[in-house]
């Protein structure tokens, strides 16, 4: 069964496939082909990135999320779409135990939040602490451990999470990093709900309600 981002998808995926995941799916075929690759989809959510990798010819896809409901959703979506995705409940630490990977893709939590996220509620899909980097920093630091010598990592996140800091940390961890793609979008519900706090903390210009998404690419140096 052939699937693209614009064809009907199972209800669980259709409700949760959001612009950043679509953006990274678009970038994946251009910035780092998953063809015949062993792929890690970290913070998988509905599994859209891992499933896209499988449909583009990955030989193996492992998908991790801390939320058991998300893991069940990934397994169901992959089954319905006729691809193999090994969906597991786990974290970066668990993924490191399965290294190395030819391609790592991630749409991690990256929205700045007034408090550090706790628990496994739906808010953990986006809340990432004051600077939006609770997950991004350890992921960047692990780049060389996760990848094969010729491997590539693709991470999507917002300008509000510190694009330069992502590139800096990836470089410090032994990778060659660059911004592979950029896309400006209007705020969604989560960012609208944070707008007043972002303005008050000086992170957002008053009245602005858009953000730039970036796909950062890293290769082993």
Report d(CA 133, CA 191) in Å as an integer. 16
CA distance 75 to 16: 15
Going by C-alpha positions, the residue among 166, 170, 10, 20 that lies closest to residue 107 is 20
CATH superfamily, domain at 11-220: Vaccinia Virus protein VP39 (3.40.50.150)
CA separation for the pair 20, 107 (Å, rounded): 7
- pLDDT at residue number 9: 40
pLDDT value of position 121 = 60
Give, for all 221 residues of the chain, the pLDDT tens digit: 233 333 334 434 444 447 999 999 999 988 898 999 999 999 999 999 999 999 999 999 999 999 999 999 999 999 999 999 999 999 999 999 999 999 999 999 999 988 776 655 676 778 888 999 999 999 999 999 999 999 999 999 999 999 999 999 999 999 999 999 999 999 999 999 999 999 999 999 999 999 999 999 999 87
pLDDT of residue 36: 97
Residues β-bridged to residue 157? 214
Q: Which residues contact 184 (CB under 8 A, 6 or more apart)?
A: 210, 211, 212, 213
Domain boundaries in the chain?
11-220
Q: pLDDT value at position 3?
A: 32
**CB 49, CB 21: distance < 8 Å:** yes
The burial class, CB within 10 Å (0-12 / 13-18 / 19+), for 196 is exposed
Phi-psi region of 42 (alpha: psi -120 to 50; beta: other; left: phi over 0): beta
Per-residue confidence (pLDDT) for residue 126, from 0 to 100: 84
């Amino acid at each position: 069964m052939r699937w693209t981002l614009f064809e009907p998808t199972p209800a669980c995926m259709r409700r949760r496939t959001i612009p950043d995941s679509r953006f990274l799916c678009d970038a994946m075929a251009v910035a780092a082909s998953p063809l015949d690759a062993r792929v890690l989809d970290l913070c998988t959510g509905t599994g859209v990135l891992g499933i896209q990798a499988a449909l583009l010819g990955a030989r193996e896809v492992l998908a991790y999320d801390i939320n058991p409901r998300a893991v069940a959703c990934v397994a169901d979506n992959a089954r319905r779409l006729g691809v193999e995705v090994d969906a597991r409940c786990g974290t970066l630490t668990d993924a490191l135990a399965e290294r190395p990977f030819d391609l790592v893709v991630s749409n991690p939590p990256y929205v700045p939040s007034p408090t550090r996220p706790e628990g496994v509620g739906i808010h953990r899909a986006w809340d990432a602490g004051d600077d939006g980097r609770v997950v991004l920093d350890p992921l960047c630091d692990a780049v060389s451990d996760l990848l094969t010598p010729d491997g590539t990592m693709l991470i999507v996140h917002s300008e509000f999470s510190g694009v330069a800091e992502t590139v800096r940390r990836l470089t410090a961890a032994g990778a060659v990093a660059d911004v592979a793609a950029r896309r400006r979008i209007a705020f969604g519900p989560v960012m609208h709900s944070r707008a007043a706090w972002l303005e008050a903390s000086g992170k957002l210009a008053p009245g602005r309600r858009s953000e730039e998404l970036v796909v950062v690419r890293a290769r082993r140096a």
